[in-house]
Copies of this chain bind each other. A is one copy, B any other.
């Protein structure tokens, strides 16, 4: 567990490019992955295909730690796939890094997956019975094996047939010897967009911010249940499953996505700012200054400040050089460790009634430390306002949720949480308020807040398999 951060974690970011120039593709993929780095900081990988030859490179670490000019120079191609990964399981192994590159008859496929399959175990068993092998513990290998079994020369057909067997969430980018495929699960749980390079190619990416850094123009979202196929002839679309209602993950707006991205054409920053405004109306409180838990609470804090008329200010300063892993603090310093990441701006806090905006509370441990820091700095009152509802249910679709026992929202009443973190008052935005802020009402998956899963999830007995300890 990241001792500095009490947030849910995204599993992955994906990107794919189809273009003519073989030289620029690896840097474009790499720049795109840097833009998507917030979606996964554990491993990074790029695969490129050049005239039927596939090369790839992947390793543990941030994009900039994994790649350098020497490596990128060797990765020439017209079709490319990239991936950043945050591991939700204990298997932080290099062989689990993506894209997964496998050979089939007459083609290789490079597969990048964002999401989680809930019937992976059953499918793996079926595939074992068929005589398939597994070399990794990632879901992508299940998908790749299904494709191999179903492949008879027509890749989109093989992908459709395979995907029909799969349950769960997925935004997939698949590169073959002559095509680039982007697809989203029938509920559209994970985001994927299509962009156009200046007159010469196409890009798939998890978020629009990846289009911006490579100068690509947003074309449209890949839709739920849609497979978009880019070949030399152009872009083709197949709706392989239209039976389901759209259920985009609402947490993309709450925390995962970058504020400058549009997810399904709703800008993330603006959604967060609206959530802050709604929160101000739902749970007003008197105070002298609205401050954010940086950086993810800033947009909502600005919204809350605007709506309430209470000035927005800065109360916490974040150390921008702090990496993901670090030395273990000695016993004495343990309680100070959070200050490595966040420090209080004492002079601005002193004697003030502070309204602290956080985007979410998962375990509550960090909130407690921040409230204590603010009080020690002289804050007269600390009112915590959270721009998402209490997280009460585990996610089965690619988000690293702790077990319910660790979810403070599932285990405690709000007043008890307030007492635990030592705040003067605590309020969360309502479920309706969050929906309104995003503005696409019933098309969202809010299962982590309300338990209404878009599909049947594993029964309780099995469920803990998917939970973290």
A129 at the B interface (CB under 8 A): yes
A299-323 interface with B by 8 A CB criterion:
299, 302, 306, 311-314, 317, 319-323
Instruction: Give the distance to chain B from A110, nearest Cβ to Cβ, in Å.
Output: 12
A344-B260 in contact given A103-B134, A105-B128 (Cβ < 8 Å): yes
A212 touches B343 (CB 8 A): yes
Q: Which residues of B contact A131 (CB under 8 A)?
A: 130-132, 145, 148-151
Q: Which residues of B contact A64 (CB under 8 A)?
A: 321-323, 325-327
Q: Which of A212, A215, A306 has the most CB of B within 10 A?
A: A212
Q: Which residues of B contact A150 (CB under 8 A)?
A: 131
Q: Which residues of B contact A134 (CB under 8 A)?
A: 102-103
A23-80 interface with B by 8 A CB criterion:
23-24, 27-28, 30-31, 34-35, 37-38, 41, 62-64, 67-69, 72
A101 at the B interface (CB under 8 A): yes
A343 touches B105 (CB 8 A): no
A24-B332 in contact given A134-B102, A135-B135, A343-B209 (Cβ < 8 Å): yes
B260 touches A343 (CB 8 A): yes
A8 at the B interface (CB under 8 A): no
A340 touches B148 (CB 8 A): no
A321 touches B37 (CB 8 A): yes
B340 touches A213 (CB 8 A): yes
Q: Find the B residue at minimum CB distance from A23.
A: B330
Q: Which of A30, A37, A134, A135 has the most CB of B within 10 A?
A: A135
- Give 7 CB contacts A-B under 8 Å: A62-B323, A64-B325, A64-B327, A69-B327, A212-B343, A258-B343, A269-B348
In the complex, the 7 A-B pairs of residues with the closest C-beta atoms, listed nearest first? A131-B149, A105-B128, A37-B321, A260-B317, A103-B134, A267-B347, A102-B133
Could you list which residues of chain A lie within 8 angstroms of chain B, going by C-beta atoms?
23-24, 27-28, 30-31, 34-35, 37-38, 41, 62-64, 67-69, 72, 100-105, 125, 128-135, 144-145, 148-151, 209, 212-215, 258-260, 262, 267, 269-270, 295, 298-299, 302, 306, 311-314, 317, 319-323, 325-330, 332-333, 336, 339-340, 343-348
